[in-house]
Chains A and B, each alone.
Chain A
Amino acid sequence: MSKEEVIKVRMAEYGVAKAPDQLITIGLGSCVGITLYDKNKKVGGMVHIMLPENKKGLKPPKYADTGIPLLIEELEKLGARRSRLKAKIAGGAKMFSISSSNNSSLNVGERNVIKVKEVLQEENISLLGEDTGKDYGRTMKFFTDSGRVRITSHKAEDIDI
């Protein structure tokens, strides 16, 4: 009997888990879900960021530039080794196609994805898989026993990254 727990990661929050537990984040729109996994230790974490940069000292997991380092730190506390961490990302969609005036918030999905990749590179973490962009919402489920990440949506077939 497995008794794995499913830990829900809400928007602008993060979670860490050890095998066989799972991490799930539901309803990624322009937000990006990032998973980091240490295969040897079978320890993983997930963060659900909304924006690229934390310029005003707000909630760290809301932003790519503060959320990813925070997640790395929390994973190290659980015994993960930074040099072994591998990333997978999903989300960054363009949910509405507003063409009018105002704004930078429109391509925020795209900007999120770019920033997430930059931060991962700075942290020397390789990106193993991604399902990003397009125009629909996604749910991301991370199995810490294998590192598998399942993406589901209302618009496309389920995929594993």
Chain B
Amino acid sequence: MTAVEERKTTERQLERVTIRFAGDSGDGMQLTGTQFTRTAAVFGNDISTYPDFPAEIRAPAGSLPGVSGFQLSFSSTEIHTPGDEPDVLVAMNPAALKANIADLPSGGALVVNEDAFTPANLGKVGYTANPLIDGSLSKYNLFSIPVSTLNVRALQGLELTNKQMDLTKNFFALGLMFWLYERSMDATLAWIDEKFSKRPVIAEGNKRALKAGYNFGETTEIFHERYIVPPAHLKPGRYRNITGNEAAALGFVAASQLAERPLFYGSYPITPASDILHQLAGYKNFGVKTFQAEDEIAAIGAAIGASYGGALGMTGTSGPGVALKSEALGLAVMVELPLVLIDVQRAGPSTGMPTKTEQADLLQVMFGRNSDSPIPIVAPATPGECFQYAIEAWRLALKYMTPVAFLSDAFLATGAEPWPIPDPDTLQSIAVPNRTEKAGFYPYLRDPETLARPWAVPGTPGLEHRIGGLEKADVLGNVSYDPDNHHTMQMLRQAKVAGIAADIPPLEVHGAPEGDLLILGWGSTYGAIRSAVERLRARGETVSHAHLRHLNPFPANTESVLRSFRRVLIPELNLGQLLMLVRSRYLIDAVGYNRVRGKPFRIVEIEAEANRLLAELKVAAT
């Protein structure tokens, strides 16, 4: 790190910075974080974000439940997580301070809006004394700034109500952070102009607030250092910033093009999946048909109807919605129609914590239907991967004529990262033909290789036939109660899904292919696990990382990978669901590390657990 003298402020180069913006849910913290993220991404940093907001749209102002946070990490090197703990905490009121201060390490920078620290606001969250002056924050690098007052001063002369002025103070804070990290305001200024093009006074107010914050940093002497985080050395190419939900929506449109069939998306509003519906609803010029159904069941029902008609019928929801869709998903298994079920998991059970992340629906999508009712499951590991696994989900659904579950979660869905924009020409076709040949047609005559049945869509002359939820006679497809036939059909449905193992990439190992400890993960825990493994390996430990993207079936080499290590650790944001599958499937004595706090893993947690296991192994070896 180099320090360069420049007037009164010094500049310091940092490898990585993590900022957390926290305020009332009405304070615009998500917007503030998003704007900083865009600016950092376009500058060329690697980024990772973690929006953490309440389910209440506007909880009582100044209350703890109303605190909304947005953490982002930007770096000059490759990063996998939004950071374990912030370097800088921006707290817009006492509630935000109280809810977040425990995460700020000693010596961390704490920027607060001191105007919000009124006796009333302090009282709302149980502060008996003002923490800004009682010395309780002495271990932090406190910057107590009258943001509201300074901001209102900057807006003098504009025809804005007090309320409207107050709503711009987040941009003051953003401007200050832009100054501190030497970032250009241009992208945000342009965004404000576009966003408020019809309300020029509001646009002017927000721009003035942003500049006032920037200039405050420039002209006052309270900050002695500015920080530079140089661009990261990302792989050459064109990039955009993307969240998991955005990447998924793009992936499903791409799948529709690659399959040469229109996409039909039936969905019922539910956090945190609704954004996929919103986004797809805007792609009508791609022939996408979206349907906001009357309930979760109708959403999947309509998707099944669309698939029956030859379209890509898809439905999306979160855990509670999956529960409602279970019976219809079983129907899709029985009639063997292609379908994709998106489950953006959230903390449960029941309504749980709708905006908080968890990965506890694995067993629900795996087993949550009556009878033996197997479906393939894919799970992207990063926001960007949601694109390619959206296509993969459809590839499997079409090739094997089966419903497929796509497991995302709240952290993937709303977290963002730089995404190398794929070249559509490199994407492979996933098109399958409709059955049109009359000779030799039977509704359940299977492809000998994939065991898929033919897709004979209504409108095809000569192939009129009936399907339904009743058991089918093998090949013929007529209703059958024959005992041996039912056994045969159950085995066929199972074999069809199990056979996919031969058609998916092997499980890759990051690090040595054998050794003391393998950390096996799935879904959004990828970043924390990968970072922990890199730290451990840098210290010379023989620790490797493998991450499953296909959870049913598992890649064919899974068992041999697991057996190449003395110990297998499976960290999950649930109480041990992949762990249960692995142990029962392979009789391998894997151990779990399970935390369900509605938050992603921190790197240090996994690192500590790995260290504990490594120590055990060393004791055992002596």
A and B, one complex? Answer: no
